[in-house]
Structure 1
């Protein structure tokens, strides 16, 4: 039985990745700063909470990271931990940099120290590219980060590349563009829109306050993106990959589609709030996933431009959960909660 260690298992990607690996017969261990009190709600929602071994780890403490590596002895390590909000990073730049960069460096150094054939995946971000003037970014596109979050992710990316080249570690980064799912918390704009549209459709008199809705992003479906993470660690040689749909859509179009899905005109319920604009915004974000398609055999099936993501998130929002946190209908669970069993 292969063993996988997931730093950041409680997040959206961590939960879906854990589900995928469990379905492939892995022993899966996930970490949290304090596993004793963490709810791991996303694991509960997917019905896998009891199948994942959980450990407490402080990523900014090298000894803590080294201890869990020696204890679990994993074949694969996935680093999905750290701050995940671009907006919050402007308010907490130091904390963001430390959680993303120092944490990644501690994992790399611990893997080098234990001197075992561990394969390492690092979650990089399309935010590293900054504004590409509408051009689709690939693995050769220079980084021009425009937020503290992006700066931290870019630094972590180069640490991974350095350890791969200097020490021969099997270490790679997935440069993932935006990817959504029902597991997103409402501080992320797509889930914020979906949740508000559903509440308003049920009679709420609230207004939805949004920032810059003219931005264009390359949005995908999170359960598909974790498959790409897994595939990167199954290759003979480590490498970095852009993971994206290859298409962009205006946030305004997503808002319109979400409200139209419940029979509403978004213009009657949305207020543009200048205070929600970021100090620096990326006008158009688009990825070129050609390398992942050719080398990994990976290609996005669900896209925001086809309203796939709108439909699936809206249906998941209305789907009742049973007492175990799993969806009531098994067929719908496969379609909307993970897609992992179909891979």
Structure 2
């Protein structure tokens, strides 16, 4: 039986990955932050909360990392934990650098010391491309991060590559473009949209308040993307891979897809901070714009080229952005009382 350790196991990706690995016969361990009661709702929704072994794990504490890896040696280590909200990284830039950047080398160096044959996966991100230098973005595209989050992730990405090249470790990075699901945190824009629209469809009156509706993202389904993570660590030779759908969609269109899935007819009017949207069927205002949700430095366009992953890993996204928006909107609607 293979053993795996997942940091961030209680998050969206961690929960889907835990289920995938359990289904493949792994013994699954996971790292959780020290809180009075671990938040296991995502694991519970997927029916695997009782099947994983949880351990206190702090990305910023070297001794804790060392002891955990010493006491629970594994075949595969997936580092998914991070300060993962881009907007918050401007408020917590030093913590973000520590948790998303320095934590990676803490884990890698501990593995190098204690169990260098462990296969390591680092959760890199399309936010590293930031002010994009090439369209679409691929593994060789120059990085130009536009947030403290993106900058910290660049360090984690390059140190993963460095330990692979310097010490022969099987360390790979997945440069994942936006991947969402019904398990997505409510602070992320896609889930914020689908939850607010579901409440409106249930009779609520509060519109979803957003920032730049023109921002374009490459959105896929998280359940697809964890399969790609696993496939990277099954390769004989470690490498870095972009995982993406190859389709870019504005936030405005994501709203439209989610609203239509709930039987609404969204109609947009105005421009910039004065743009709004109403449901033509009910006359309800469903979208408003607020300056506070604009980023200090915006990432305008992200679209990935996953041809390397398709060729080498046999991986391809299976859920369209329309299907994703529909899945999330209906899940939120069904969960509301």
- TM-score normalised to structure 2 length: 0.92
Runs of 4+ in 1 over 6 A off after TM superposition: none
Q: In the aligned structure 2, how far is the partner of 1:313 from the partner of 1:204?
A: 18
Distance in structure 2 (CA, Å) of the matches to 1:273 and 1:211: 6
State the 1:318 CA deviation: 3.5
Q: 1:118-142, CA deviations, whole angstroms, 9 ceiling, x for partnerless residues?
A: 0000000001011226710111101
The residue number in structure 1 matching 2:209 is 209
- Name 1:56's counterpart in structure 2: 56
Q: How many Å separate the matches in 2 of 1:105 and 1:159?
A: 7
- Taking the aligned partners of 1:209 and 1:318, their CA distance within structure 2 comes to 19
Q: Structure 2 CA distance, aligned partners of 1:203 and 1:133?
A: 44
RMSD: 1.4
Checking the alignment, whether the CA contact within 8 Å between 1:134 and 1:284 is kept in structure 2 is no
Partner of 1:160: 160
Residues 193 and 208, structure 1, Cα contact 8 Å, conserved in 2: yes
Q: Which residue of 2 aligns with 1:308?
A: 323
Instruction: Please list, as runs of the form range in 1=range in 2, the aligned pairs for 1:63-78 lying within 5 A after superposition.
Output: 63-78=63-78
Contact 1:134 1:285 in 2 (8 A): no
Aligned residue in 2 for 1:295:
312
Map of 1:275 onto structure 2: 292
How far apart in 1 are the matches of 2:328 and 2:207? 20
> CA–CA distance in 1 between the matches of 2:133 and 2:2?
43
The 8 Å contact of residues 262 and 330 in structure 2, kept in 1 or not, is answered as no
Distance 1:181 1:317 in 2: 11
Q: Contact 1:5/1:76 (CA < 8 Å) preserved in 2?
A: yes
Which residue is equivalent to 1:340?
none
Comparing 173-182 with 32-41, which one deviates more in the overlay?
Answer: 32-41
My pick for the range that moved more, 309-318 or 97-106, is 309-318
When the two structures are superposed, what TM-score results if normalisation uses the length of structure 1? 0.90
1:148 aligns with 2:165: no
Preserved CA contact (<8 Å) 1:134 1:286? no
* Deviation of the 1:69 alpha carbon: 1.1
Instruction: Using the TM superposition, give the Cα deviation of residue 259 of structure 1 relative to its aligned residue in structure 2, in angstroms.
Output: 1.5
Gaps of at least 5 residues in structure 2 are 267-276, 279-285
Cα offset, 1:320, TM superposition? 5.2
Report the counterpart of residue 84 of structure 1 in structure 2.
84
Give the deviation of 1:265 after TM superposition. 3.6
User: Who is 1:220 aligned against?
Assistant: 220
Shift of 1:291: 0.2
Contact 1:8 1:31 in 2 (8 A): yes
CA contact (8 A) 1:133 1:284 kept: no
Give the conservation status (yes or no) of the 8 Å contact 1:9–1:30.
Answer: yes
Is contact 2:9-2:32 (8 Å) kept?
Answer: yes
Alignment of 1:1-343 (within 5 A): 1-34=1-34, 37-132=37-132, 135-266=135-266, 267-268=277-278, 269-304=286-321, 307-319=322-334
Look up the SS of the partner of 1:29 in the other structure. strand
Contact 2:133–2:142 (CA under 8 A) maintained in structure 1: no
User: Runs of 5+ in structure 1 lacking a partner?
Assistant: 322-343
Helix, strand or coil at the partner of 1:257: helix
**SS in structure 2 opposite 1:195?**
helix
Per-residue CA deviation, residues 233-273 of structure 1 (Å, 9 max, x unaligned), is 00000000000001101110111121122222431221111
**Residue 35 (structure 1) shift:** 6.5
From the superposition, tell whether residues 113 and 35 of structure 1 become closer, same or farther in structure 2 (CA, over 3 Å): farther
